[in-house]
């Protein structure tokens, strides 16, 4: 009898928020898995091609801490030029090696690095 994978992935977000990131600001992505200790790893797949047609990069995420009943995972993607659009999805690896995904209900997560115009409007 096969048991159901209890692993869940949720509450994925990026920092800074859309338009608040600047070319000199490092771009971070964070996600949460439950139950604690169930995920053996997490990865991000991302591209700067908004259509997702050019190659996607694959990076491991670091387990940052335990927060309540969740493992917190994050990754620093570095800096990007103004106006860059980032498209990403998160993979969590379960105890049996099975993957579950947070890809925003098959739409992927999207982010935008701010421009000089955004900076001028924030003053």
pLDDT at 24: 84
Going by pLDDT thresholds of 50, 70 and 90, the confidence category of residue 1 is very low
What CATH homologous superfamily does 8-121 map to?
Immunoglobulins (2.60.40.10)
Distance (Å, rounded) from C-alpha 104 to C-alpha 69?
22
CA distance 47 to 53: 9
Average pLDDT, the chain: 89
Domain ranges of the chain: 8-121
Model confidence at 119: pLDDT above 80: no
Q: What's this model's pTM, rounded to 2 decimal places?
A: 0.87
Average pLDDT over residues 56-61: 96
């Amino acid at each position: 009898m096969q048991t159901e994978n209890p692993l869940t992935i949720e509450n994925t977000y990026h920092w800074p928020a859309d338009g608040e990131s600047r070319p000199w600001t490092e771009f971070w992505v964070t996600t949460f898995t439950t139950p604690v200790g169930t995920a053996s790893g997490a990865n991000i797949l991302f591209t700067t091609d908004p259509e997702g047609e050019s190659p996607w990069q694959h990076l491991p995420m670091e387990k940052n801490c335990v927060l309540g009943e969740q493992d917190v995972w994050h990754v620093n993607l570095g800096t990007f030029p103004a106006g860059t659009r980032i498209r990403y999805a998160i993979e969590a690896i379960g105890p049996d090696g099975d993957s579950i995904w947070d890809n925003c209900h098959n739409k992927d997560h999207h982010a935008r690095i701010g421009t000089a115009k955004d900076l001028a409007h924030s003053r």
